[in-house]
Chain A
Amino acid sequence: MSFERNLRKEERCQYELRDMYRSFGYQPYRMGKFEEYELYMRNRSFLRGDRILTFTDTDGSLKAMKPDVTLSIVKNYTGEHLQKLCYNESVFRPGDSGFRQILQSGLECIGRVDDYLQSEVVTLACRSLAMISDAYLLDVSHLGFISSMVDALVPEEARRRMMKAVGQKNAALIRTICEEEEVNENDREKIVAVTQRYGSADVMLPFMRETILNGDMQEAYGELERTVTAVQAAGAGERIRIDLSMIDDLHYYNGIIFRGMVEGLPETILSGGRYDNLLKRLGKNGRAIGFAIYLDLLERLDRERDPYDADILLLYEKDAKPEEIIRAVNALRTEGYSVRAQTEPDTLRCRRTAYLKEGAWRFND
C-alpha cells in the first residue's frame, strides 16, 4: 500500500523538492534550536515585518520563534567553503488574525557563488514551480538595473518615493515625480516603459538594451542576460519572464532577484535573490543566493478532496466482543480498505457500510 495517497499536496511537494535539491548537492539543514530575539530584531526589514513571536528561555534569555531560516543559515556560515543547503521548516509570522505557523521550503547557496551556481539556483526555482503546477511564471530582474536608473534620474530625496511608484507600476506617479524633478521627456518615458513592460527574455532583453543610461545599468543587464541564457540552456527558461519593476530592500539584496507565481494563487509563492549585502551586514564575506517557497499557500489551490471519511463503515452491536471487532477491522484493512468501526453511523460518509453480527461481517449492499 502506498502512503503517498495520504500526503497532502504541500507534504508531497516537500519530499519531492528535497529529493531534487539533494540531487544537485544541497544538504538538508535543520533548525533545532531557537535564535536570540536580537538577531531578528536587528534585521527586521529583511523579514518585512516587525512583529516577532518571542519567549523567555529557561536561562532567562529572550528567544524568538523563527520568523525566517535564511538569517540563521547566514549567521552560522563560517565564511570558508561553498555551502549549499536546503530546508523544510515551519516559520512563525504575523497574519491578519494573529501569528501563524507557515510551512516553508527553500535553499541557500553561500560562498563562491559564480555564474553557474547563480543559474543553477534560478533553474531550481523554475523546476520547483513546475513541480507545483504547469501554469507557473518566474519573474526575474536585476535590482541594479532599476535602482541605477532611478539614481541617474532623480536626486536622493525623491528616490524612496520613486522606488515605491516603480514597485506599484504607477505610471501616473512616476510621471509626476519626473516632472517635479525636471527629468527630460525622453528619459521619463524610458523609466515608465521599464516599469510597464513585461514579457519573455526574447522580448525584454532587446528592449532593455535600448533603455540603458549608464555603466551600472549595462553591468546589471549583462549579468541578467548571462543568467537567463544559462537557465534557458538548462531547459528551464520557457516560463521565465522579466519584470524590471520588482524592487527589494537594497540593504539586504543586490543583483538578481526573482519571484514565482502559480495560476490560481493570488500571491507570490516563491521568492528569492542575491543577498550579498545581508552577509556583509552580518560581518561575513562572500556572495549568496537562495529562495524560499511558501508551501502553505498550496492549501488554497484547487485540491481533490476525498468525499468520504473512510472506505467502510463497520457497525457493530453494543454487546459485540472487542476481539471480534478488531478481527473484522483487520480483515478489511488487509484488503486495503480504511475502516471506521462504531455502533452508530453518526453523520459519516463512507463508500460502503458493513454490519458485524455474531463475529461475522457482511456488506448491506
Chain B
Amino acid sequence: MTEKWLNIALPKGRLGEKAYGILEDAGYDCPQIREESRRLIFESEENRVRYFWVKPSDVAIYVQRGSADLGIVGSDILMEYNPDVYELTDLGIGRCVMAVAGSKDYREDPDSVLRVATKFPNIARKYYSGIGREIDIIKLNGSIELAPILGLSDVIVDIVETGKTLRENGLMPYEQIVPVSARLIANTVSYKFAYEQVTRLVRAVENVLRERKEKR
C-alpha cells in the first residue's frame, strides 16, 4: 500500500526555514522549497510530504482543523490559544522568553491596576491571576514596545529574543514568565490514522536534534 501524504504546515519566516532544515536532515526533503518563488505549497512525491507556508499564528489552526497533519509552531502560540493538538517534540529552535518589560524608570505600584499591553492576552491574564495582581489588558497586534513609551500601558508582555528591540526603545525586561521554543504538533486524529508514519518522522527528527546537540 502506498503511504498517505503527510501535510506539514510551516510558519513563514526564519523559524519555518530552520524547521524545514531539520526535516530536510531527517530525510523529508523537498528541494523546490529552497527555490525563490511565491508558491505556498510544495510536494515531494518521493517522501510523500506536502509542505505549506502559513502565518505563524495560524499553524495551530491548520493542524487542529486537520488541513495539516503536522505543524511547527512556537510554544507561545500554543499557550495563548490552547489548541487541541498533540505536542510531540520540542525542536529547541526559535528560543526566546515570554517576559514582562517596561521602561527603565518604571516602578511597580501595587496600589493601582496594572495596565498591560500585549499580543498575548491569555498568557498575560493567566500569569497575573497566578500572582494575584489586578490588571487591565490592552490587546495590540504589533509594535508593542510603543505602548509604555506613549503611556498607553505600564508594562508589556511580549517575547524577548535578544532584548535588542527593548533596549533601543529604552525598555528592559523585568520578569520572565516562561521560556519559549518551537514545537512539532500533530492533529489528534491524523496522528492515529497515520501513527507509524508520524512516529517514524518524529523519531527521525529527534535523531537529527540529538546529532546536532552532540556536534555542538
Q: Are A and B co-members of a single complex?
A: yes
Taking beta carbons and an 8 Å cutoff, which residues of A are in contact with B?
135, 137, 139, 168-173, 196, 198-199, 241, 243, 261, 263, 265-268
Q: Which residues of chain B have C-beta atoms less than 8 A from A137's C-beta?
A: 192-193
Which residues 63-93 of B sit at the A interface, judged by CB distance below 8 A? Answer: 64-67, 84-90
Number of A-B contacts (CB under 8 A): 46
CA–CA, A265 to B190, complex, Å?
Answer: 9
CA–CA, A168 to B89, complex, Å?
Answer: 11
CB of A241 within 8 A of CB of B90, answer no
**Closest residue to A269 on the B side, CB-wise?**
B189
CB of A267 within 8 A of CB of B89, answer no
CB of A265 within 8 A of CB of B192, answer no
CB of B189 within 8 A of CB of A171, answer no
Judge if B44 is at the interface, Cβ distance under 8 Å. Answer: no
**Closest residue to A261 on the B side, CB-wise?**
B189
Q: Which residues of chain A have C-beta atoms less than 8 A from B187's C-beta?
A: 266
Q: Which residues of chain A have C-beta atoms less than 8 A from B85's C-beta?
A: 168
CA–CA, A241 to B191, complex, Å?
Answer: 13
CA–CA, A243 to B191, complex, Å?
Answer: 11
Judge if B188 is at the interface, Cβ distance under 8 Å. Answer: yes
Decide: A243 near B192, CB < 8 A? Known: A266-B65, A266-B187. Answer: yes
CA–CA, A135 to B66, complex, Å?
Answer: 16
The B interface, classified by DSSP as helix, strand, loop or mixed, is: mixed
CB of A261 within 8 A of CB of B89, answer no
CB of A267 within 8 A of CB of B66, answer yes
CB of B189 within 8 A of CB of A168, answer no
Decide: A169 near B189, CB < 8 A? Known: A199-B195, A266-B64, A266-B65. Answer: no
CB of B192 within 8 A of CB of A266, answer no
Closest Cβ of chain A to B77, distance in Å, is 14
Q: Which 5 A-B pairs have the closest CB atoms?
A: A266-B66, A172-B90, A170-B87, A169-B86, A168-B87
- Out of A135, A171, A172, A267, name the residue touching B188 (CB < 8 Å): A267
Q: Which residues of chain A have C-beta atoms less than 8 A from B189's C-beta?
A: 261, 265-268
Decide: A139 near B192, CB < 8 A? Known: A168-B86, A169-B88, A172-B90. Answer: yes
CA–CA, A193 to B67, complex, Å?
Answer: 28
Listed by A's residue number, 20 A-B pairs whose Cβ atoms lie within 8 Å are A135-B193, A137-B192, A168-B85, A169-B86, A170-B87, A172-B90, A173-B87, A196-B199, A198-B191, A198-B192, A241-B192, A261-B189, A263-B193, A265-B66, A266-B65, A266-B67, A266-B190, A267-B188, A267-B189, A268-B189
